[in-house]
Amino acid sequence: AQKVTQAQTEISVVEKEDVTLDCVYETRDTTYYLFWYKQPPSGELVFLIRRNSFDEQNEISGRYSWNFQKSTSSFNFTITASQVVDSAVYFCALSEARNGGFKTIFGAGTRLFVKA
């Protein structure tokens, strides 16, 4: 069964702190894709990063970095030197082949507050 768990409901940090958002997934497929999306207060979900199940190489993009570990079924997201503009809800998502297409499900999200 597909499942995405984001155990952290809310995180509050002070600007310039580093913060890690956790994501644990469940799947029976060997081929799948993982994503992180950001939903700012304006409401529209925005894609941040994707990973396929065969690529465990971690990635860094500016202040963002991602740690994918198949052994623990985790795909964690770290923001370094957080800024107030990072305040948003962050969703982890899992995409698997279903019925000729790809179905994506989301975790419940982690709300990040970055205080000045």
Q: Rule CB under 8 A: which residues touch other proteins? A: 4, 6, 31, 33, 35, 37, 43-47, 50, 52, 91, 93, 95, 97-109
Q: Which is nearer to other proteins, 11 or 45 (CB)?
A: 45
Least Å from the CB of residue 16 to other proteins: 27
User: CA-to-CA distance for 27 and 18, rounded, in angstroms?
Assistant: 29
Let me know how long the chain is.
116
Q: Which is nearer to other proteins, 46 or 84 (CB)?
A: 46
Helix (H, G, I), strand (E, B) or coil at 104: strand
User: CA-to-CA distance for 107 and 59, rounded, in angstroms?
Assistant: 21
Least Å from the CB of residue 51 to other proteins: 9
Least Å from the CB of residue 71 to other proteins: 21
Q: What share of the chain is helix, strand, coil (3-state, %, to 5)?
A: 5, 60, 35
